[in-house]
Amino acid sequence: MSAVGEALRELETVVGTDHLITATQGVSAYAVEGQQPLAVAQPGLEAEVAGVLRVAAERNLTMLLRGGGKHLYYGAPCGPIGVVVSLARLNEVVEYDADDLTITVQAGMTLGALQRVVEAHGQMLPLDPPGPEDATIGGLVAMGLAGPLRMTYGSPRDLVLGLRVALTTGEVIKVGGRTVKNVAGYDLAKLFVGSLGTLGAITQITLRLVPAPEDRALFAVALSPARAREATAALLGSRLEIATCDVVTCRAGIPMPASLTNNPEDVIVFLGVMGAREAVVRQNRELQAAFPEGIARVDDEVWARVRDVAYPTGDGCLLRLNLPIAKTMDLMELIAARPGWSAAARAGDGIVYAVGPPDVDVLTAFRSAAEQSGGHAVLEAGPVEVKRAFPVWGATIANTDLMGELKRSFDPARGLSCGRFVA
């Protein structure tokens, strides 16, 4: 039997015959950027996840961790895949303390399923990443994904209290804790949040919840770029409790009331408010007074479209620019001036998303402008040939030696993530 055959046989003993896919037709559904895995392992227990990672590392098989598979466009071009490790079967609630506003779930539980569990208790997990319907909690945490609500509630790094992580040694470690008051020692949980599955497989997550608002509303107003710059700065510094603040070019394709989109040079400012019903009514009145141009309340479908502006479609590119907040509108206007490009700014976070055709020269110009403004740019999605020509994470990256040492400590064989991350 070949070395690969022996490795697959050993993986089969870990997860069982029914949960190891090796047939060509079966594994083809798990291909990433043209890379088709040799096998797909579907462990159903934490110990099985650790066992799969150990076997793959010992047999020199590369590993790609997979949750719902909705965000695998993210990262540098994917290298050859030995085994895809699917965590979708680990999808249960482990512990839910509604009184303490904390929940512990397995990594394969979807965001939608978690929200349905906690909304029955008047609570929510304040994450609204792009493409959330089938995304798993483990995947979102591993990628550090957030959406418009980040302005108010932060990113997964702010919401994760503790993790359990399977390592390539076959061990399972626990970092952080299950309570908000757990503050002793180094906060190692943050090491794994946003690590893109390069250090280990997150199997269990403890999260901080918040009370669900009694009411929520999204308002939209069409403004010139100069007026939008002035208005967003004033609103973010006002006493109004703005939960989300997004500025989107008309070319972004979000359906809007005709009265708001007469001038294609305008941008649309979306303002989300949340809280007690009386507070939302009051803020509605104050926003109406602040915008004599006319401001409209739009429905939840539009809110979802604003969120999903940061979700790639087709063969285009999605570039994320992280900037000082004061530079957000400058870069947005630069992007909007390019034919064929649209932009969306998370105005309260200093994040701008640029969406457009696969053009390395334009991407380079946008990255240069971001760096000159004191920020940086990451190519979140694009065709493989563009990713190979345009460094996804940046041409110069700080602390690569330190990241390399961390990688070697947790994954000596460098088999995890198939080359998709920085180091």
How confident is the model at residue 239, as a pLDDT? 86
The mean pLDDT value for 2-8 works out to: 87
Joined tokens for residue 6: 């022996």
Average pLDDT over residues 55-73: 94
Q: If you average pLDDT over residues 136-146, what whole number do you get?
A: 95
Note down the domain range covering 149: 93-211
> Is there a domain that residue 227 lies in?
yes
Whole-angstrom distance between the N-terminal and C-terminal Cα of the chain?
35
Does 115 share its domain with 18? no
- Domain-ending residue, one of 43, 60, 88: 88
Does 10 share its domain with 84? yes
pLDDT band at 423 (very low <50, low <70, confident <90, very high): low
pLDDT class for 404, splitting at 50, 70, 90?
A: confident
Compute the average pLDDT of residues 371-387: 95
Which of residues 296 and 172 earns the better pLDDT score?
172
Residue 327 lies in a domain: yes
Domain end position, chosen among 309, 337, 367: 309
| Helix/strand/coil for 407 | helix
Query: Across residues 233-249, what is the average pLDDT?
Result: 91
Q: How confident is the model at residue 352 (pLDDT cuts 50, 70, 90)?
A: very high
Q: What pLDDT does 150 receive?
A: 95
Q: What is the pLDDT of residue 260?
A: 76
| CATH number of domain containing 273 | 3.30.70.3450
Residue 129 domain-assigned? yes
Tens of pLDDT, residue by residue over 181-211, are 555 667 888 899 999 999 999 999 999 999 9
Let me know: does 207 contact 98? Beta carbons within 8 Å.
no
With both helix axes pointing from N to C terminus, report the angle between 277-290 and 225-236 in degrees, rounded to the nearest 10.
140
Confidence label for 368 from pLDDT (cuts 50, 70 and 90): very high
Q: What is the CATH classification number for the domain harbouring 169?
A: 3.30.465.10
pLDDT for 303:
86
63 touches 56 (CB < 8 A): yes
* pLDDT, average across residues 10-21: 96
Highest mean pLDDT among 187-191, 221-225, 291-295, 321-325: 321-325
Mean pLDDT value of segment 400-410: 88
In this prediction, residue 180 carries a pLDDT of 58
Say if residue 196 is in the same domain as residue 220: no
| Residue 81 in this model has a pLDDT that exceeds 70 | yes
Would 418 be classed as within a structural domain? no
- Shared domain check, 325 and 376: yes
- Identify which of 202, 145, 141, 137 has the alpha carbon closest to the alpha carbon of residue 174: 202
Instruction: Indicate whether 217 pLDDT > 80.
Output: yes
Amino acid at residue number 328: T
261 in a structural domain: yes
Report how far residue 289's alpha carbon sits from residue 285's, in angstroms, rounded to the nearest whole number. Answer: 6
Q: Are residues 315 and 378 in the same domain?
A: yes
The residue from 43, 73, 88 where one domain ends is 88
Residue 123 lies in a domain: yes
Question: Among residues 152, 86, 325, which one has the least CA distance to residue 229?
Answer: 325
User: Do 82 and 62 sit in the same domain of this protein?
Assistant: yes
Q: Is 338 inside a domain boundary? A: yes
Mean pLDDT over each residue of the chain, to the nearest integer? 92
158 with 188, same domain?
Answer: yes
Give the pLDDT score at 194. Answer: 93
Where does residue 153 rank: exposed (0-12), middle (13-18), buried (19+ CB within 10 A)? Answer: middle
Q: Both 46 and 84 in a single domain? A: yes
320 domain residue, yes or no: yes
Reported confidence tier of residue 18, pLDDT bands at 50, 70, 90: very high
Task: State residue 38's pLDDT score.
Answer: 96
pLDDT at 255: 77
154, 219: one domain: no
**DSSP label at residue 299:** -
Domain CATH code at residue 82: 3.30.43.10
Mean pLDDT computed over 51-63: 96
Residue 305 and residue 317 share a domain:
no
On whether both 147 and 170 belong to a single domain, the answer is: yes
Domain count of the fold of the chain: 4
Looking at the structure, tell me whether residues 266 and 323 fall in a common domain: no
Mean pLDDT value of segment 341-361: 94
